Each structure stands twice: as C-alpha cells, then as structure tokens.
Amino acid sequence: MLRLLCYQLLILLLCCSTLTRVSAQKINLPAAIRQLITQQCNVCNQLPPGQDSMVSRYFHQCHAALDSGNLDDGFKYASTITAITDSNSLAPRTLTVRFLKAKILYYKDFYKEALSEYLKLTAVPALDINIQANIYPNIGEIYLEQRQFNQSLEYFNLIQRRFFHLYEPVVARKILNNTGVCLLHLTRFEEAEDNFEKSIAIAEKLKDTTALVNSFLNTALLYDQQVRQKEAWRYLQRALALAKKASDLKIRSKVYLNFAIVEERTGHFEAALGYRKEYEQLEAQIANRDKIWELAEQEKKIAIQQQEYKLQILRQENKLREAELTRRRWQRNTFFVLSLFFLSCAGLIFYAYRQTSKRNRIIAEQNDKLELLNETKDQLFSIVAHDLRSPVNHLKINLSYLKDTLSRNKIREATALSENIEKISDNTYALLNNLLYWSLGQTGQLSLQRELHDANRIIAQVAYDFNAGAALKRISIINEVPEGMTFYADLNTAKIIFRNIIDNAIKYTHASGTITISAETVGNSCEVTVQDTGIGMDEKIIQAIYKRDTKRIQQDTAGSKSTGLGLWLVKAMTEKNGGALRITGSVGAGTRIVVCLPANEHYEGTESTHPGR
C-alpha cells in the first residue's frame, strides 16, 4: 500500500508540471490567428460601419482587451456579441468570437465550460484550420488535467497527424511532452519514451532549461516504472545538474523534491532527508524573496521536524505492514482451499452446461437442415410454376394445332408444328435436367468426381450439340480454345456449365450473330471465356439473378421469358468444382462470361460476386 501511494505521488508531482501554466492574464495567440482577427475587424481595417456596426465595435474592443491582458472585459464583449447574434451562425467572425470566449474560459481555469465551447466549435465543418490547430491542444490538456488519459491521447494524436506542421517549436515541444505523459499513465512506455525524446530534442535546440528539466523528470519516471533504475537515476542526475545551473528556483526545488520522493520510496531515508532539506531551503527562498531570513529559517526547521516525524511514521507503518502480510498469508491459504472447492463445483456445472449446449447445437443444426429443405422446396415449386408451366402450355397448344392440321391433311404446317414441338420438348427436358442438378446441389446430395480434362475437347463436344440450333439462327460458334489446355473438374457438371452458357448465348443472340469461346491459363486457374454479340443485360438483371430474385426476368430474342435458373446452376456447379464465375456486359453490346476452373487439384477458387445472366 505504501509503495503504491508513493508511486501515485511521484506521478502526480512529475506530470503535473506539464500542465502548470503561469497565471498570466495575457493570452498568447499565434501570429496566424492574430492576422485572422485583424482581417475580420472593420475598425482595424478602417472600413465604414455597416448594419452590424455595434458587433464590429464590440469585436474590436474584445480583442483589444485581450491584447492588453484584461480577460474580464474581453469575456464581457465576447458574451455580448454572442447574445445579440444568432448562436447557430457560421459566419467567420461569429466563429472567431466563440473561439475567443472559449479561450478566455480556458485561461480562467473554467475547464468544463471551456471544453463544452471547444467541442461545439470542432463540430463546425467550416472552422478555420488555424483556430482548429489552437483548440485541439487545449482540449487535450483539459482531458489530461481531468485525468481522462484516453480522450486526451486521442486529441494529441489527432494534432500530430493533422496540425503538427503549423506549430512553433515551443508549442510542438509541449504537445509531444503532453502526449508522452498520457502514454506514461496508460503504461504504453515505448511510445511515451519516443515522445519524451522528441520533446527533449526540441527543448535542447531552444535551450529551454525549464522544459528540459521537466522532460528529464518525466523520462526518469518512465524508466522507474519499468524498473530500469539505472536509466531513471541517470535522467534524474541530468535534471539535477541542469537545475543547479538554472536561475529558476522553482524548477530546482521540484528536482530536489523528486529526488527525496524516490529515495524515500527506495528506503534511503537519510539521503531522502538531505534532498528534502534542499527542497525546503529552495521553497523558503521562493516564499521569502523579500529577505525575511529569520522566518524562512523557522519554517525550514519546522519542515525538517515534520519530515523526521513522517520518517518515524513510515517506520511504524513498515512494522504494521509486516503484521498485515502475515495475516494476509493465512487468509490466502484459506482462500486457496476454498477456491479449489468452488473450482471443482464449477467444473461439474461447466460439464453439465457443455452437454446441454451440445444437445441444443444438434437440435439447431437439424432445424437449419429442415429450413434449407423447405426453402429449396419453395424455390423449386416457384421455378416449376413459372418456367415449366409456360412450355407445357405451349406444348399442349401446339399438339392441338398439330392434331387439327393432320386431320385437314396439311403436311407442311404439321411438319413445322412438329419441329416447334420438338424444340419445346428439348428446352423442357434441359430445364428439368437443370432442376434436378440444382435440387441435388441445394440439398448436398450432388457427388462430384473431379479429374483432369482437355478443355478444347469438352468445349467441342458441347458446342457440337448446339450446331443445329445455332444454324437455324445463322449464328456462328467459334471454338478458339487452345489444344492441350486442361482443367480439373467433374466431367458431368463441367458439361452442364458450358451447355447452359452456350444455350443462353444462342437464346440471347440475334440472327447472324457470333459466339466466341476462348481460354487461357492465369496462375493456377483455367479461364474459359464465352463472348456473344447478343442483347446483353444491365446491372439490375445481374444483381437480380445473383440474389435469386424470380421477379426479375429477361426476354430472349424470341420473346420467351426466363428466371435465370440456368446461370444459378452454372454458378453453383462452378463453385462446387472449386472455381468462380465472372460476367460483364451491357445492354445491346453482348455478354462476356468467364468460367474460372482449377488448372490442377491444388487450386482453391473464390466465390464469384457477379454470377451473370
């Protein structure tokens, strides 16, 4: 307990020096802000008074009062301006007045009110960057003063990212030092050390003795908390050596006080007493600079007596602490036995909980499978109702017409109807085949036997089956797949993939069009491209197909409508073979579908994001 209290006292004494400000009444504003204020002041620019002549006059009186160090008058004029103007106004001069008002509150140590005003200003997008750069350090210092180190560090990091180049070296050093203090409190020692080193470098260039001593003390505390006593002691010695040469008695007394606290904490009470005496002497000189030496000596003697009394109290506390440690040791042993008992009980409870969770998980998995089956059933019924109803109805009508034409012995018309019936039957059979594979894939019953296949041969076989249908529309199918190129996939599903793509290309390509099939090896993937000169599709149709939106349909060149089941199946089969599907196209410019299949059995594909038509 005693060691913890000493640590806290040491941190407080060392780090509070970072935020200590001279209680001067004059606000030191950067040159950029002073120039901004002058540009906005009609009086300074000798401009004729306008409709807001009263505001202009008060604005001039406000910044003039601040320049003379009269913060009370400056606050009065700023408050008057905000009272007679629109509080929500984003006019540059109004924002500047609100900034000056918040700055006065900050210098008057009304941190809560200043923070509230600052945060409101930071929410204004049009706020001048120089004002922002002057606000954020104050917000960080207020949070640091309130010991809200995470919030303070957030603002100091923001400052270093966005505004650090705008600051003069004196301000930059203070920001780095404050950042280091926040990191020190958050025990992020390496980052704190980096910021303190940068602060020391700037202070050395500026030859700022007070800043150097403060940074040395903070660095010493950093190493002390990491139990790096040699480095800590070295920085304390550097601080002491520099403080001895300084004319600032206050910084010298602070160094001696820190030495006394460190020596007390490490048990070197005699040395601590010596440093404490030096500290008290310096404090006496500071408090009695009017040369009241007799009173100073008396106060010093009293302080030494008080310190000796404190040392006696510390010795007594050490004895009490040893007795307390003995009592706690007995309590710890008792607690250990009880802990074993409760842990055993907890283990039994946990085992029972795991068993229950396992049963619940099995039930949940079964429910998920039932939901998947129901979903597949609903989708299947929807497709059957939409895609099968129409061709069966057309088949029925054509059969009726065929019967009628045969009864009237119209052979030519009967032949045409029979060809149409054959085409409808082929399409219906292909649709049923797709439905079968799709339902097997959805329910996990599809079995794949993946092997190495020749891409040119498979494409040639599939394209041959469509030559007759393509010839009816005078569509050319060009196979440009290089010989010897291979892919690793299941043969049946690979044929289904290319059959559906080529079938789609014929359906959506006008007469005398072209379908070009090419392939290339990209890394470990064989990419087969089917490019048509058809009607193409827009992005909405692609997304609708990808989302399995049956409400989104497209007509082919013959006017037939489809829900896109073929490409649903193509996407599913491609991914089950470890590949991916890509599609590009636009309305009237054809469609380009790329099937990426593994070139060998060690390739792992990625799921396609645009499945296609």
pLDDT of residue 555: 63
Domains in the chain (CATH in brackets) are 31-43+54-127 (no CATH), 451-596 (3.30.565.10)
Dihedral angle of Cα 262, 266, 267, 273, to the nearest 10 degrees: -20
Indicate if the pLDDT at residue 375 is higher than 70.
no
- Residue 399: left if φ>0, alpha if ψ -120 to 50, beta else—which one? alpha
Phi, psi dihedral angles at 487 (to 5 degrees): -140, 160
What is the CB-side half-sphere exposure of residue 82 using CA atoms within 13 A?
18
For residue range 481-497, list pLDDT tens digits in order: 998 899 999 888 888 88
Residue at token pair 């229950």: 356
Of 170-184, 230-244, 413-427, 519-533, give the lowest mean pLDDT range.
Answer: 413-427
367 membership: H or E segment, kind and range: helix 293-383
For residue range 176-197, list pLDDT tens digits in order: 999 989 988 898 988 888 888 8
Indicate if the pLDDT at residue 529 is higher than 90.
yes
Indicate if the pLDDT at residue 605 is higher than 70.
no
Strand partners, 516: 478, 531
CB of 461 closer than 8 Å to CB of 502: no
- Enumerate the H helices of 129-228 as residue ranges: 129-145, 149-162, 169-185, 189-206, 209-225
How far is it, in rounded angstroms, from Cα 553 to Cα 538? Answer: 12
pLDDT of residue 604: 52
pLDDT of residue 387: 53
Question: Which comes out higher in pLDDT, residue 278 or 296?
Answer: 278
Cα distances from 149 to residues 142, 172, 182, 194, 224, in angstroms, run 10, 19, 5, 17, 20
pLDDT of residue 466: 77
Mean pLDDT of the residues in the chain: 79
CA 157 to chain centre: 16
Q: What average pLDDT does range 367-386 have in this prediction?
A: 63
CB of 202 closer than 8 Å to CB of 169: yes
pLDDT of residue 297: 56
Q: What does the angle CA 134 – CA 140 – CA 145 come to, to the nearest 5 degrees?
A: 125
pLDDT of residue 545: 66
**How many other C-beta atoms can be found within 10 angstroms of the C-beta atom of residue 443?**
13
pLDDT of residue 3: 44
CB of 584 closer than 8 Å to CB of 529: no
**What pTM value is reported for the model?**
0.44
- The first and second tokens of residue 152, run together, are 């303070």
Of 420-424, 520-524, 547-551, give the lowest mean pLDDT range.
Answer: 547-551
CA 275 to chain centre: 50
CA 598 to chain centre: 35
What is the CB-side half-sphere exposure of residue 589 using CA atoms within 13 A?
6
Of 179-183, 198-202, 212-216, 267-271, give the lowest mean pLDDT range.
Answer: 267-271
Of 131-145, 234-248, 289-303, give the lowest mean pLDDT range.
Answer: 289-303
- Residue 85: left if φ>0, alpha if ψ -120 to 50, beta else—which one? beta
Of 37-46, 167-176, 535-544, 603-612, give the lowest mean pLDDT range.
Answer: 603-612
Of 247-261, 372-386, 396-410, give the lowest mean pLDDT range.
Answer: 372-386
Indicate if the pLDDT at residue 13 is higher than 50.
no
Residues whose CB is less than 8 angstroms from the CB of residue 263 and which lie 6 or more positions away in sequence, other chains included: 269, 271, 272, 275
Indicate if the pLDDT at residue 502 is higher than 70.
yes
How far is it, in rounded angstroms, from Cα 586 to Cα 536? Answer: 5
Percent of the chain with pLDDT over 70: 79
pLDDT of residue 295: 59
pLDDT of residue 78: 87
* Band (562; pLDDT cuts 50, 70, 90): low
